[in-house]
Amino acid sequence: MRNIRFSILVIVMSIMSGCVVGRPGLADLVVTNARVWTGTGNAVTAVAIRGERIVAVGDNRVVGAWIGDQTRVIDTNGRRVTPGLIDSHIHVVGGGLQLGRLHLRDVGSREAFVAAVGRAASSKQESQWVLGGRWSVESWTNQTPPAKEWIDAATGDVPVFLTRMDGHQALVNSAALKIAGIDRDGPADPVGGVIERDPATGEPTGVLKDAAMELVDRHIPKPTEAERSEALQRAMRHLNAQGVTCAHDMSGPADLNVFRKAHRSGQLTVRIRKYLHVTDWTRSIDDVRRFNAGDDWFRINGFKGYMDGSLGSRTAYMYRPFADAHPHDEYPSGLLAEMAEPPRKLRWMIQQAAEARLQPAVHAIGDEANHVLLDAYEAVARKRGQRDWRPRVEHAQHLLPEDIDRFAKMGAIASMQPFHKADDGRYAEQALGSERLSGSYAYRSLIESGATVCFGSDWPVVTSDPFAGMAAAVTAKTLDGKRWIPEQAIEIEAALNAYTTSAAFAGFDENILGTITVGRLADIVVLSEDVLTVPAEEISHVRAWVTIVGGKVVYDAR
* 56 assigned to some structural domain: yes
CB neighbour list of residue 203: distance below 8 Å, 6 or more residues apart: 183, 184, 197
Phi, psi dihedral angles at 472 (to 5 degrees): -65, -40
In terms of Cα–Cα distance, which of 85, 361, 98 is closest to 250?
A: 361
- Do 70 and 171 lie in one domain? The reply is no
Q: How far apart are CA 124 and CA 521, in angstroms?
A: 46
- Do 99 and 198 lie in one domain? The reply is yes
Instruction: Give the three-class secondary structure for 341.
Output: coil
Confidence at residue 327, expressed as pLDDT on a 0 to 100 scale: 85
**How many other C-beta atoms lie within 10 A of the C-beta of residue 256?**
18
Which residues of the chain, if any, have pLDDT below 50? 1-18, 20-22
* 252 assigned to some structural domain: no
End-to-end CA distance of the chain: 39
Q: How far apart are CA 85 and CA 118, in angstroms?
A: 38
Last residue of a domain, one of 217, 246, 270: 217
Which segments of 123-255 does DSSP mark as H helices, in order?
Answer: 148-155, 174-180, 214-217, 225-240
Total domains in the chain come to: 2
Are 14 and 53 contacting, i.e. CB atoms less than 8 angstroms apart?
Answer: no
- Do 49 and 116 lie in one domain? The reply is no
**Is the CA virtual torsion 251, 255, 261, 265 positive or negative?**
negative
* 167 assigned to some structural domain: yes
Q: How far apart are CA 36 and CA 80, in angstroms?
A: 6
Q: How far apart are CA 484 and CA 488, in angstroms?
A: 9
- Do 209 and 100 lie in one domain? The reply is yes
- Do 116 and 164 lie in one domain? The reply is yes
- Do 104 and 80 lie in one domain? The reply is no
* 182 assigned to some structural domain: yes
Are 260 and 103 contacting, i.e. CB atoms less than 8 angstroms apart?
Answer: no
Element (H, E) at 288: helix 285-291
Are 82 and 525 contacting, i.e. CB atoms less than 8 angstroms apart?
Answer: yes
Are 518 and 20 contacting, i.e. CB atoms less than 8 angstroms apart?
Answer: yes
CB burial readout 29-57, b (16+ within 10 A) else e: bbbbebbbbbbeeeebbbbbbbebbbbbb
- Do 19 and 71 lie in one domain? The reply is yes
**How many other C-beta atoms lie within 10 A of the C-beta of residue 184?**
10
- Do 195 and 117 lie in one domain? The reply is yes
Are 58 and 44 contacting, i.e. CB atoms less than 8 angstroms apart?
Answer: yes
Are 404 and 418 contacting, i.e. CB atoms less than 8 angstroms apart?
Answer: no
Are 210 and 194 contacting, i.e. CB atoms less than 8 angstroms apart?
Answer: yes
- Do 30 and 119 lie in one domain? The reply is no
CB neighbour list of residue 178: distance below 8 Å, 6 or more residues apart: none
Q: Give Cα 342 distance to the centre of its chain.
A: 27
Instruction: Give the three-class secondary structure for 554.
Output: strand
Confidence at residue 18, expressed as pLDDT on a 0 to 100 scale: 41
**How many other C-beta atoms lie within 10 A of the C-beta of residue 152?**
15
Are 404 and 459 contacting, i.e. CB atoms less than 8 angstroms apart?
Answer: no
- Do 142 and 73 lie in one domain? The reply is no
- Do 79 and 103 lie in one domain? The reply is no
Last residue of a domain, one of 180, 198, 217: 217
Confidence at residue 141, expressed as pLDDT on a 0 to 100 scale: 83
* 329 assigned to some structural domain: no
Q: How far apart are CA 128 and CA 220, in angstroms?
A: 9
pLDDT tens for residues 414-451?
Answer: 999 999 999 999 889 999 999 999 999 999 999 999 99
Q: How far apart are CA 332 and CA 86, in angstroms?
A: 36
Which residue segment(s) compose the domain that 19 sits in? 1-84+515-558
- Do 114 and 165 lie in one domain? The reply is yes
| SS3 letters across 62-110 | HHHCCCCCCCEEEECCCCEEEECEEEEEECHHHHHHHCCCEECCCCCCH
Q: Taking phi first (over 0 means left), then psi (-120 to 50 degrees means alpha), and beta for anything else, what does residue 542 get? A: beta
CATH number at residue 210: 3.10.310.70
Are 397 and 442 contacting, i.e. CB atoms less than 8 angstroms apart?
Answer: no
Q: What is the DSSP string of 181-199?
A: T-BTTB-PPPTTEEEEE-T
Q: Using alpha carbons only, what angle is made at residue 56 by residues 51 and 60, rounded to the nearest 5 degrees?
A: 120
Global pTM? Answer: 0.87
CATH number at residue 553: 2.30.40.10
Last residue of a domain, one of 183, 217, 251: 217
* 80 assigned to some structural domain: yes
The overall longest dimension of the chain from CA atoms, in Å, is 79
* 379 assigned to some structural domain: no
* 349 assigned to some structural domain: no
Instruction: Give the three-class secondary structure for 136.
Output: coil
